[in-house]
Structure 1
Amino acid sequence: MTQAFQKVAAIRGMNDVLPGVGARWEQFEEIVREWLHAYGYRNLRTPVLEHTRLFARGIGEVTDIVEKEMYTFTDALNGESLTMRPEMTAGIVRASIEHNLLYDRPQRVYSLGPVFRHERPQRGRYRQFHQIDVEALGFAGPDVDAELIIMLARLWKRLGLTDVRLELNSLGQAEERAAHRAALIEHLEKHRDVLDEDGQRRMYSNPLRVLDTKNPAMQAMADSAPKLFDFLGAESRAHFDGVCALLDDAGISYRLNPRLVRGLDYYNLTVFEWVTDRLGSQGTVCGGGRYDGLIELLGGKPAPAVGFAIGMERLLDLWDQTAPAATVPECEIYVVHQGDAAQRLAARVGETLRDAGLSVIVHAGSASFKSQFKRADASGARVAVILGADEVAAQAASIKYLRADGAQGDAQQQVPLAELAQVLKSKG
């Protein structure tokens, strides 16, 4: 006797997007693509799998992502260590180097898709989640930093979000960070007794990240730590001042946050986050900044770059709170039919209406008109096209409006098949 197959569920933290919610995602993605196109950004797609060394080198070996969160395995074919991408920037930079994208001009690119991190799932933080990743490669000035932030403000406005706040900081350049790092380590050594296990571990390897702690017992120590901003030279300050001046010109409000460091090693100069209080502990909706050294670090010719990433699940959650999703119809037209000849005609009518640009479901199989109309109504279609023996004989179709906004006051009417598409489009 065959043993019953044990039902399989999705892996915890890797979620299905069902058709009703999928329509909301499609609506959201259409808005995002139109928004990015308005600023001249073009789509670039990279593989989900990359060599592990790309992320260890690009993100930083002592970051949480590399140390704890990557899905890494050994390829059985050749023994190489491969990783499912935990973020997109490193892969985009790898692609730009490999394909020499910066040979003749800077590039504005974006990518949408899944990323993977092995962590405890919670609201807005999943093992497979999706990002909108936007990168401006080859641009050095504060004008592009500001443009990225301003374009994000435009997206929030388009989505009707009013309680997303901008936090801003500068991480300066390598030599400025080195001087600050020495002072910071000295400060941490003096307060070793209040450092938690994570702070003790990072005190020498990545001391800047110690300041990003959420541990209440460490807040006073972090608040009194030397500020990186105080170590910035004239050029770094001028860059930051240039960003702020352009944001002021655009009427964008922001808060200077000297403890904002971001979680990845490759940032320099401008860093920013857009945050909200409406998503619980996972309040960061978007984060980004400048990473002028990453292209050279990954083997390319030195070139500046700046970008950001948005967690799509978090932003959709926020958008749904602001503007709850309306039900998206499965189709515009639902074709019901009775009898073999009508069923064959229905298939041809469906294709003709699709040729005219209408979305159509032709009822599959045979059923009573009552049952078919029930299904037509559930589909959200605005019109039912009815085909029976009389319609087949007359080479016509009867149409019935199912929604008050389809054609108010219109009773069921018969239309010649040759005129059907034109009539349905004129009353759309």
Structure 2
Amino acid sequence: MVAYRSKVVERIELPARERRERALEEAGYNVFELPSEDVYIDLLTDSGTGAMSDAQWAALMRGDESYAGSRSFDELESAVAEVMGFSRVVPTHQGRGAENVLYGALLSDGDVVPNNTHFDTTRAHVANQGADPVDCPVAGARDPTADGEFKGNFSLERAREVVDDVGAERVPLVIQTITNNSAAGQPVSVENTRQVREFADRIDATFVIDACRFAENAAFVRRREDEFADYAIDEIAREQLRHADAVVMSGKKDGLANAGGFVATDDADLFERCKQRAILYEGFPTYGGMSGRDVAAMAVGLREAVEEGYVTDRLEEIQAFADLLEDAGVPVYTPPGGHAVYLDAGAALPHLDAADFPGQALVCELYREGGVRGVELGSFAFPDTDRPELVRLAVPRRTYHGEHFEHVADTAAAVLEKRESVSGLEVVSEPANPELRHFTAALAPLSD
């Protein structure tokens, strides 16, 4: 059942193929460099790209732009306490600002940080503090065809190996990302979160949950974890999050906003350390790099994210999109997650080796063929890791409709019909930071 009707529309246009060819070449075969007007269906990210509700637009008009003591911050603080269960909030301009504030307060040179799977900015922020980010996915997480209801879980077995190898004193922080973006948006069970809490206690580590998609994760928990079959989404969310010492949040995901993020905790000492660091990097503690109107919109969005109608529609939309792609013969990661459908580029372009960046090649062909922009999350985005060659088609919230998804499926099918002609790519220039090279690196087609 569709949960929304449109009040505002935006006209979009599929650029001519010649224009797409030229734009791709000028972008250095890196779709991050494409102008938005040259993109027809934009599935690059679900971060800050969704449509806000009428209630959020009303909140924008009521936003309090006071530098200090903003009423809008009081609204955010109240929403975080009600929805997520934390009493202290440090606002930031977006999720990576929250990562900088929290991980900068917790990490030192030589530390080791286990995570079920680090995403790009998380990995970069950990490395920026001189620490070593270590992925701890469960068996099957990196197999696009493996069965499993909670393939996003944190592997306690792998984490214990890390501690045995380096010593508990070098592991001051443990992170669990829900849902697990780098593992194809797969959910994490509450039971796994409880186990990670116990593990962190045993090694005297701070336990942080990256809660960017906490509401989508809670919806999966209710469907797949018997204990919570009769719970409301917000009840599940609070139960899962309460096991963390702190959460880091991008409000551009399950805050349903176009900007903003925060760190939330009940720990008074950690709160004070984060607040002081945020003043240096983000702004005064009652606006944190955001306008008051953005703070107000995120406060409303947090409450909307755990509403039954919204989150049910969200998961069903992603499942329907995955079904369209599978019906078109496109290999996808199964089961689909809650914010994106991930294509198995290794299976889609089997003639290309990992060194030829098959995921990035598929990304480029999707744009060339149908003006569709996705993002590679394989050997190009994560060099020197053993992650599968995936392409993420992230779905902005409350934005696209059935016809848009049909176009994407038709585009992907058309690419696969001529897959043997798809060339691999090579990097011709890249930044010094390998964790973030996919944002700005330039590539070129491999010569025959």
Compute the TM-score of the two structures, normalised by the length of structure 2: 0.25
Larger radius of gyration: 1
Q: Which protein, 1 or 2, shows the higher relative CO under an 8 Å CA cutoff with sep ≥ 6?
A: 2
In proportion to residue count, which structure has more strand? 1
Compute the TM-score of the two structures, normalised by the length of structure 1: 0.25
